[in-house]
Amino acid sequence: MAESSGLSIFRDIEELGNQSGSSLGSPRNQADSQGPGKRKREADVPTPMERFQLRYLWVTDLSTQSWCEQQMVYRKELPGFQSVEKAAVLDAGASIHRARELELHDLVSIHTSTKEDTWAVKLLNILSMVPTLQAGGTIREFPVFGEIEGVFLVGVIDELHYTSKGELELAELKTRKRPMMPLEAQKEKDRFQVSLYKCIFDAMVQGKVTSASLVHHMKLSPELLLGRQVQSHARQGGFRVKSFGDLLELTFLSLTLSDLPVIDSLKIEYSHQETNTMLGTEMVVCEEKKVRDKLRHYLEYWTGLREPQGVDVKEAWKCRMCDYAAICEWRQGGGPRTLSQGRRAKVTQ
């Protein structure tokens, strides 16, 4: 078991809704992205980002999209439709992750009342973990964020540590209900997730993520004073800041001057939930071009360039374990929904 670093990791107890931040790449010109199967956006049709009122996407949303895009959309449209059994599996996995985090960090709850306070909690966690990583230690639950193709992405890395060769390694834990390794399709989903984490983290430590981009995407007010609890915990950590802008500047300065390396190695560990037995390990080679190409395809849905897609016929076996199989339009019709159907989905939510 890893030794405790003595860090206190903060959790906001009034998490606000999905907001969004940064700069890994340049937004594409939508007019230049038309290709087979794509359409020009109609002005009166909201994009999925607009329809679901999202300022950012979670990396886990995108990895779920790689499993079945239509399923991911139904989860957004019908959040209460999930089976009790599947919800229990997710809760068990979350509990295991929380227990692992407590091995290294104490958790401190902070009251937040603004989106600036909510983001301040993330920034304080980054500031508290960077020195540990600089000193060669292990950290867990490291927040990452950045912009790719004009869309802001947010995620949390399970663990970062150094190998015996001195390489920075990302370790992602996946818990499983059944005591066996996942099928290739599940592994591919997980590989995409950790590869995307690497792309975002690397951009953060290379100075490619900017505070201006975070403020722009998340609609934040740098001049806003931080809440009393946030300021108090910042002072306890040795950070004397009053406004969100002060903390923002300090965080990005810390990342820029940290000399942290990019991630060298990606590892996925699969564990059995009930027995906590390690089932196996998957080492991942990040092929950035393939990752970005796949990401662009997924973002075309979110930016309204195409309709959601279900699985191919060869992967129809996934439908047997899907909560939405009985109502799935892709499965029943063998193709994408029409624009008029998309409009009806918005009205009937």
> Quick check: is 327 in a domain?
no
Q: What is the pTM of this model?
A: 0.82
- Report the range of poorest mean pLDDT among 93-97, 256-260, 319-323, 345-349: 345-349
Q: How far apart are the first and last CA of the chain?
A: 46
Contact of 256 with 250, CB cutoff 8 Å: no
> Which amino acid is present at 209?
V
Residue 276: the pLDDT is 86
Percentage of the residues of the chain whose pLDDT score is greater than 90 = 68
CA gap 170, 271 in Å, rounded: 16
Q: 195 pLDDT exceeds 90? A: yes
Contact of 131 with 32, CB cutoff 8 Å: no
The tokens describing 159, both together, are 């663990």
User: Concatenated DSSP letters for 162-212?
Assistant: E-TTS-EEEEEEEEESSSSPPPHHHHHHHHHHHHHHHHHHHHHHTT-S-HH
Instruction: Pick the closest to residue 282 from 203, 202, 193, 200 (CA basis).
Output: 193
Cβ neighbours for 57, distance < 8 A, ≥ 6 positions apart: 20, 49, 151, 152, 153, 154, 302
CA gap 148, 156 in Å, rounded: 16
For residue 156, list its beta bridge partners: 143
> Quick check: is 88 in a domain?
yes
pLDDT in tens, 96-152: 656 666 666 667 889 899 999 999 999 999 999 999 999 999 999 999 999 998 999
Residue 189: the pLDDT is 95
Domain around 53: 48-308
Expressed in percent and rounded to 5, the helix, strand and coil fractions of the chain are 45, 20, 35
> Which amino acid is present at 270?
Y
Coil, strand, or helix at residue 33? Answer: coil
Residue 274: the pLDDT is 85
Cβ neighbours for 142, distance < 8 A, ≥ 6 positions apart: 125, 126, 129, 156, 157, 160, 201
Identify the band that residue 7 occupies on the pLDDT scale cut at 50, 70 and 90.
Answer: low
Percentage of the residues of the chain whose pLDDT score is greater than 70 = 76
Residue 339: the pLDDT is 38
- How many domains is the chain partitioned into structurally? 1
> Quick check: is 268 in a domain?
yes
From the number of C-beta atoms within 10 Å of its C-beta (0-12, 13-18, 19+), residue 77 rates as: middle
> Quick check: is 104 in a domain?
yes
> Quick check: is 54 in a domain?
yes
Residue 2: the pLDDT is 43
pLDDT in tens, 244-279: 999 999 999 999 899 999 999 999 999 999 888 999
CA gap 130, 10 in Å, rounded: 14
> Quick check: is 87 in a domain?
yes
CA gap 301, 296 in Å, rounded: 9
> Quick check: is 342 in a domain?
no
> Quick check: is 129 in a domain?
yes
CA gap 61, 69 in Å, rounded: 9
